[in-house]
Amino acid sequence: MTDEETMQRPSIVFDERLSLVVGMLQRFTWEESKTSDTSARIELGGQITIDDAAALWKRISETLSDVDALREVTLDLTRIQKIDGACMALLVQFRTELRARKVGCEFVSGSDEVKRVVQLYGGRKKQRQARPKRRPLSAIEQVGTATFAVFGETKQILDFMGRLAASTWHVLRHPKSLNLRDVGLTMERAGADAAPIVLLINFLIGFVMAYQSSAQLKQFGASIYVADLVGVSMTRELGPLMMAIIICGRTGAAFAAELGTMKVSEEVDALRTLGFLPLPFLVIPRMLGLILVAPILVLMADAVGIAGGALVASLTLDITPTMFLIQLESAVKASDIISGMIKGVVFCAAIALISCQQGLATSGGAEGVGRRTTSAVVSILFTLILLDALFTVLLGVFGI
Amino acid sequence: MSRPMITARELSIGYGKTTLLRDVSFEVERGDIFVILGGSGCGKSTLLRHLIGLETPLAGEIRIAGIGAPRLEGAAPRYGVMFQSGALFSSMTVGENVAFALQEWTHLPVDAVSAIVRAKLTLVGLEGAEGKLPAELSGGMRKRAAIARAMAFEPNLIFLDEPSAGLDPISAVELDELILALNRNLGLTVVMVTHELESIFKVGKHCIMLDHESRSIIASGDPKQLRTESDDPRVRKFFNRETSVPQWQ
């Protein structure tokens, strides 16, 4: 096919194309004839291009289902005017299948153009050994493989924690080895840059919570307790949790992707060859940066969440901001705020740990970076909920 | 005779339960340009990673300048390494990349570090590129910058992983010239992994050839001599570019 012919390919209407694709319409000829009891000849003719691949494959499948009595099949290509690589690949597969069933198969004749395609796709003197078919794993094997994978991952995490503990000790003994530049950078990116979205989300959370509860509280004449509800919920629970979820999506994913990319592009190896420990240089600064901004972000989240609640109380319950604040003062204790800040710090430490661990465990190029980033975000969200539940129980037990 | 720069004795290397190479022994003399050859997947780069100290061998011993299995981290670099992709720190400028180890491991003032960085970049033909980010450089320039970073600490041994891979012919020749100049003028010992024949014959003084099938060294010596004198069909095939691609009818 010349370049011009390729470019000026006649357009096929939609239903014709659909028929070609499902193999109903056949634009080439396929004539089978028996030359003896055990041999057959298939004469192919016309133009066989990618548009005819479905029909060709259908004919091949039909023929393959009925070759048990044959010992020899000859594919005569004389009348083929044109064949492209895709269809030749199907014919080669047909020949391979026949040979695998101990049925001899040869391509014969054909124009020079057809012969060139045959040479390119099916003319290898030396046939490669057929790859053994991959056997699907049984359910027990899948469970076993998954169990080993869990053990492998756990081992990796424990190894990481051990090295992190050793690196932390190293940094404590040699504070100069800490990469302070990345501490500041993390505080800026995860703190200052994240502040607007943390503020907006928490304001809306406080707003929605107050709005939803105001109607219920009004029924019992307990509208003023909206301040208690919003204040305690925001400081103890929702402020740190929402902040952590935003940090997980913004910073946790970024850490995992950044370190993952560094790992696959050998930057982490380069760091080691220059005498740097990857953990004090890459992980501890990020963890420290996040831990330092966590209490500030939690306080800001608490404040704007409560402000959102106060706005709703003022608009729908006729509770003035002053009344709201007086009620809030009696409802929210310092321990509520402090426990929320501690939660935020622990959440951020978990985010940094998991995302950095996942990032440094990356292998396998861009696909590996994507997989580890996703894995980091999912693991962090699960861990946050788990830690939150643990905190709630522990704080309840200790009466805080 | 001076002590060898690198001694590898009865090395077995691999990952987990997979052994890539067995009983590999060789020595690299000081001032040599030593090339590790072999087809794709034979373990060249993995052997290099073990020599550098990034991986631990399953068995055997590696001694560099008489010292065995030193820790890479926590000390100034004892040798330079250029990775296949360059592995420049993407968030730093070229100048910061070269200055990185100097700032950490020396107590030089900023001006002195800057002067050294400029000199190293001039050495590799990248004068004036201090302020550029790695993403702004071409593949060849990135590799040159990586050599400048590897040379920053004045090593007498440098490891190069496929230095001319992926470069246009002119950049590849320029890089070969640079390697030769560093070896000739500074007495630098160079250990490089490559399968670029032009590069091997141009810069290689000694080589070992690894084989995927036998998982061992199948030839060692001067690459030019090996090409003409080796009786091993695998060596002849490699040097004479005899392909194993099936012949077309």
pLDDT bracket for residue B70 (50, 70, 90): low
Tokens of B135: 């993403």
Q: Which of A124, A171, A265, A274 is the best residue to mutate to test the B interface, defined by the most B CB atoms within 10 Å of its own CB?
A: A274
**A126 interaction partners in chain B (CB closer than 8 Å):** 246-247
pLDDT reported for residue B249: 45
Whether residue B198 is contained in a domain is answered as: yes
Domain count, chain A: 2
pLDDT digits (tens, 9 = 90+) for B30-61: 999 999 998 888 889 899 999 998 988 999 99
| The pLDDT value given to residue A228 | 93
Residue at B248 is within a domain: no
Q: pTM, whole model, 2 decimals?
A: 0.77
Q: Are residues B215 and B142 in the same domain?
A: no
A32 Cβ under 8 Å from any chain B Cβ: no
Asked if A248 and A364 sit in the same domain, the reply is yes
User: Which segments of chain A have a pLDDT < 70?
Assistant: 1-25, 122-132
Q: What single DSSP character describes residue A23?
A: T
Is residue A89 situated within a structural domain? yes
Is residue A44 in a domain? yes
**A293 in any annotated domain:** yes
| Same-domain check for residues A191 and A299 | yes
Tell me which residue of B57, B55, B33 sits closest to B222, measured CA to CA. B33
Question: Residue B17's domain is classified under what CATH number?
Answer: 3.40.50.300
Domain assignment present for A162: no
List pLDDT tens digits, range B127-172. 888 999 999 998 888 999 999 999 888 888 999 999 888 788 888 8
B79: closest CA of chain A, how far (Å):
8
Nearest CA in chain A to B55: A269
pLDDT at A277: 85
- Same structural domain, A208 and A96: no
Find, in chain B, the residue whose alpha carbon is nearest to that of A176. Answer: B104
Residue B202: inside a domain? yes
End-of-domain residue from the set B105, B130, B154: B154
* B131, part of any domain: yes
CB contact under 8 A, A170 and B74: yes
Tokens of B74: 């926590």
Positive or negative, the CA dihedral B203, B207, B211, B216 is negative
Does residue B129 share a domain with residue B189?
no
* B172 inside domain: yes
What's the angle, vertex CA A33, arms to CA A27 and CA A38, rounded to 5?
Answer: 135
**B113 and B6 fall within a common domain:** no
Q: Which domain-ending residue is among B154, B179, B200?
A: B154
Is A145 part of any domain?
A: no
CB contact under 8 A, A272 and B72: yes
Question: Which tokens belong to A368?
Answer: 């590996």
Residue A360 lies in a domain: yes
Q: Which domain holds residue B140?
A: 80-154
Those residues with Cβ within 8 angstroms of residue B6's Cβ, 6 or more apart along the chain or in another chain: B26, B27, B28, B34, B51, B62, B63, B64, B157, B189, B191
Q: Give the model's pLDDT for residue B15.
A: 80
Contact state of A267 with B90 under an 8 Å Cβ cutoff: yes
Residue A181 lies in a domain: yes
Domain count, chain B: 2
Q: What is the spatial distance between Cα A202 and Cα A289, in angstroms, rounded to a whole number? A: 22
Q: Are residues B62 and B169 in the same domain?
A: yes
The alpha helices in B124-168, defined as continuous H runs, are 139-151
Q: Can you give the residue range of the structural domain that contains A281?
A: 170-397
- Contact with chain B for residue A155, Cβ under 8 A: no
Using the Cβ of A270 and the Cβ atoms of chain B, whether some distance falls under 8 Å is answered with: yes
Both A11 and A104 in a single domain? yes
Tell me whether residue A153 is in a domain: no
ipTM of the complex in this document? 0.89
For chain A, first and last CA: distance in Å? 81
B113 and B180 belong to one structural domain: no
Examine the domain organization and report whether B131 and B104 are in the same domain. yes
The answer, yes or no, to whether residue B221 has pLDDT greater than 70, is yes
pLDDT at A123: 57
CATH number of A10's domain? 3.30.750.24
Q: Which residues pair with A34 in a beta bridge?
A: A40
Q: Do B148 and B164 lie in a common domain?
A: no
The last residue of one of the domains, among B154, B179, B213, is B154
